[in-house]
Chains A and B, each alone.
Chain A
Amino acid sequence: MIGDRITLAHGEGGWLSRQLIERVIAPAFANSVLGPLNDSAILPASPRRLAFTTDSFVVTPLFFPGGDIGRLAVFGTVNDLVVSGARPRWMSLALILEEGLEVDVLRRVLGSASDAARASDVQIVAGDTKVVPRGAADKMFVATTGIGEMIDPVPPGPAAIEAGDVLIVSGPVGRHGIAILAARENLGLSPPPTSDCGSLAGLVEALRSREIPVRAMRDATRGGVTAVLHEWASTCGLTLAVEEHWLPVGDDVRGASELLGLDPIHIANEGTMVVAVPQGVAEGTLQALRGRPEGAQAAVIGHAEVDRGTPVMIRRGLGRERPLDLPSGAMLPRIC
Chain B
Amino acid sequence: MKYLDEFRDPKLAGRLVDRIRRAASRTWVIMEVCGGQTHGLLRHGIDEALAGAVELIHGPGCPVCVTPIESIDFACELAKRPGTIVASFGDMLRVPGSNGSLNRSHQEGGDARIVYSPLDAVELAIRNPDRDVVFFAVGFETTMPATALAVLQAADRKLQNFSILSAHVRVLPAMRGILSDPGNRVQAFLAAGHVCTITGYREYGELAARFGVPIVVTGFEPVDLLEGILECVTQLETGRHCVTNRYERSVRAEGNREAREIVDRVYEVADRPWRGLGIVPGGGFVLRRAYEQFDARWRFGSVATELPVLGDVRCRSGEVLSGRIRPTECAEFGEGCTPDSPLGAPMVSSEGACAAYFRYSRFPGQIACPVLSGQE
Contact = CB atoms under 8 A, between A and B. Distances in A.
Contact of B363 (A185, A309, A318, A319): A309
B61 to A, nearest CB: 15
B10 A319 contact: yes
Contacts, number: 68
B28 to A, nearest CB: 20
Contact of A323 (B14, B339, B348, B363): B363
Nearest to B91: A329
Given A317-B222, A328-B340, A329-B339, A323 B362 contact: yes
A329 B48 CA distance: 28
Interface string B345-356: 000101000010
A325 to B, nearest CB: 5
A48 interface: no
A317 B44 contact: yes
Listed residue (A317, A325, A329) with the most chain B CB atoms within 10 angstroms of its CB: A317
In which size bucket is the chain A interface?
20 to 34
Nearest to A244: B8
A183 B72 CA distance: 31
29 contacts: A185-B116, A254-B1, A254-B4, A261-B350, A308-B365, A310-B364, A310-B366, A316-B43, A316-B45, A317-B9, A317-B13, A317-B222, A318-B10, A318-B14, A318-B17, A318-B44, A318-B46, A320-B45, A321-B45, A322-B361, A323-B359, A323-B360, A323-B363, A325-B360, A328-B338, A328-B340, A329-B90, A329-B94, A329-B339
Contacts of A322: 42-45, 360-361, 366
Given A316-B45, A317-B10, A322-B43, 4 more contacts: A318-B49, A318-B222, A320-B48, A329-B339
B358 interface: yes
Contacts of B363: 309-311, 323
B359 A325 contact: yes
A328 B95 CA distance: 13
Interface string B31-52: 0000000000011111011000
Given A255-B1, A323-B361, A325-B362, A316 B44 contact: yes
A251 B365 CA distance: 35
Contacts of B222: 317-318
Q: Which 7 A-B pairs have the closest CB atoms?
A: A320-B45, A328-B339, A310-B363, A317-B8, A309-B364, A323-B363, A309-B365
Listed residue (B222, B339, B363) with the most chain A CB atoms within 10 angstroms of its CB: B363
A104 interface: no
A323 B366 contact: yes
B216 to A, nearest CB: 20
A211 interface: no
Interface of A: 185, 187, 251, 254-255, 258, 261, 308-311, 316-323, 325, 328-329
B368 to A, nearest CB: 11
Contacts of B14: 318-319
Nearest to A184: B116
B120 to A, nearest CB: 8
Contacts of B338: 328
Contacts of B8: 317
A329 B342 CA distance: 11
Nearest to A323: B363
A123 B248 CA distance: 60
Nearest to A333: B114
Contacts of A318: 10, 13-14, 17, 44-46, 49, 222
Given A310-B366, A316-B45, A317-B222, A258 B13 contact: no
Contacts of B339: 328-329
A254 B45 CA distance: 21
A319 B116 CA distance: 33
B358 to A, nearest CB: 7
A249 to B, nearest CB: 9
B139 to A, nearest CB: 14
Contacts of A319: 10, 14
B13 to A, nearest CB: 5
Contacts of A185: 116
B50 to A, nearest CB: 11
Given A308-B365, A319-B10, A322-B45, A258 B360 contact: no
A187 B43 CA distance: 26
Nearest to B221: A317
A241 to B, nearest CB: 13
B263 to A, nearest CB: 22
B8 to A, nearest CB: 4
Contacts of B362: 323, 325
Interface in B1-23: 1, 4, 8-10, 13-14, 17
Contacts of B366: 310, 322-323
Contacts of B44: 316-318, 320, 322
A311 B222 CA distance: 25
A319 B1 CA distance: 19
A227 to B, nearest CB: 15
Contacts of A255: 1
A294 to B, nearest CB: 23
B22 to A, nearest CB: 17
A254 B13 CA distance: 21
A320 B49 contact: yes
A258 B40 CA distance: 12
Nearest to B359: A325
A325 B90 CA distance: 19
B92 to A, nearest CB: 12
Contacts of A323: 359-363, 366
A255 B2 CA distance: 10
Interface in B87-114: 90, 94
Nearest to B4: A258
A283 B257 CA distance: 56
A138 to B, nearest CB: 14
Contacts of A258: 4
A328 B366 CA distance: 20
Contacts of A308: 365
A222 to B, nearest CB: 16
